[in-house]
Amino acid sequence: MSTVLIESSTLAKQSTAEATSKKKRVVIVGAGFAGIAAARALRRSDVEILLIDRRNHHIFQPLLYQVATAVLAPSEIAAPIRQLEAKQKNLRVLLAEVKSVNTRARLVEAACPGIGVQKLEYDFMIVATGMRPSYFGLDEFARFAPGLKSLNDAETIRARILSAFELAESINDETVRTRQMTFVLVGAGPTGVELAASIAHLVSVTLRRNFRNVDPAKSRIVLLDGGPRVLPTFAESLSRKVTKRLEKLGVQVRTGVKVEKVDAEGVIAAGERIASATVLWTAGVAASPVVKMLGTTMDRAGRAIVDPYLNIAGASDVFVAGDATAIIQDGHPVPGVAQAAIQQGRFVGRVIASRVSGRKDGRPFRYRSKGNMAVVGKNFAILEAGHLRSSGFVTWLVWVALHVLALPQLQNRFRVQMQWLWSYLTGQRSSRLIGEGP
C-alpha cells in the first residue's frame, strides 16, 4: 500500500501556536548520546524541540555486549525517551522514522507508525543518528553475521549463542557438534574484544555443568581482524596485554587475516575454512542513511564532513553530531565514542541557543578526551588517558564505577549493580532467554 502524506490537525495547531509565539523549532533526529545531550543543552532556550527517533528508548551502547551474552537484560541498559517530556517543557518526542530531508525548504518527512508520513518544518536541525554495521560492500554477509548496534541485535546474538549449545546437546554427530560450539567474531575493536571475553566467561563458568552431553568449556572462540593487532586505537603496549588476556581466557586471536566469505557454514579467512554456526560481525561501521539525505560531503564511512561548528557545508541551520559526523582534530579523527558524542551534542545545543538569542557562536568545537577504556572479562580492564596507561584489577574497578554512574536512570544503576554483584559472586547470568520468534 502506498504511503500517504498527511498533515495532522495536531501539527496544524502547533504551527498556529508557533506562528503566534514565534519560537524557533529545533528538530533533533536521533535520541542517542548526542541527540539527548543537545536537547538538554537547549532546555533553558526559548525554542521548541522536536526529538525524533524510530525507537521509543535510548540505549546505553557501551554495555550492549552484556545483553548479547546474557549478563544483563535489555531493560537494564535502556530508558524510555518519552520520559524526557516530563522533565523538559520545551521538548516533544515523536516516534517516527525519517524518510527524506529537504534542507532548502527546511522540511523533514517522517513516517509515524499507523499514521503515515508527516511533513515537519524546522528552523534548526540536528542529525545525530549514529552508526550501523558496515560489511564493506559485502552486504550478503549480514544474513549470516549479525552486527551489534541495537537491542534487537543483542537479543538475536544471545539467542544464537544459547541455541548453539542446545542443538549441540541434542545431536550425536561430532562434526556438527564442533561447528555448533565454534564462535567466530570478525573485528577486534572494543566491541569484538569485550564480546569475545564475555563469551569466554559464559562458556567456562556460567554454562559449566549445565549440559550432560557437551562441555561448553571446550568451545572454540576465534577473534579475527585484518589489522596487525587488537584494539588499534589504544597504545601497542595495552594491545599486547589485551591479547595475552584473551588468550588466557581461551580466545584464539588471529590478526592480519582478511575474511573472504561468510556463509551458513562459517567463514573463509586467509583461505582457511572455519566451520561455525555463530559468526558475529564486530568490524566496520557506517553512518545511517539520514546523513546521505542531507546531500552534503561525506567520508568513505558515510559520515558528514562538517565545519568547526558542526554545520554541514552551505547550511548554517543544519548540524551533524555524534558518530554520524567526521571531524579531524590535531591531524587525527575524533573517535566515535560516547564521550565525544555527548560533547558534540552539548556544543551544538549551545551554538543554537546562542544564535536564537542573537549572540555570537563562540569558540569552535574541540574534543577533550577523558580517556578510553575497554574491559576484557572479569577483573581486567585497560585505560589510556593522555600519557597514563593502566591495566588490571584496579582499572577494572574504575571501569565498573564509571559505567554504573553513566547509566541513564537511577533504577538502571541499581539493577545493574545488583546483577553485576550476583554474577561476580556466583558466575551466573540471569538473562539466559531464547525468544520464541515470530
Kindly list the catalytic residues. 194
Rounded Cα distance, 141 and 16, in Å: 49
Q: How far apart are CA 129 and CA 53, in angstroms?
A: 8
Residue spans of beta strands (DSSP E) within 38-115? 47-53, 57-59, 78-80, 91-95, 97-102, 107-112
Question: Is 121:103 a contact under the CB 8 Å cutoff?
Answer: no
Q: How far is CA 136 from CA 11, 132, 190, 285, 359, in A?
A: 40, 12, 19, 9, 43
- Rounded distance between C-alpha atoms, residue 93 and residue 34, angstroms: 15
Residue 27: closest CA among 129, 123, 130, 131: 123
Strands 328-329 and 182-186: unpaired
d(CA 187, CA 364): 34
Residue with cell 545488583: 418
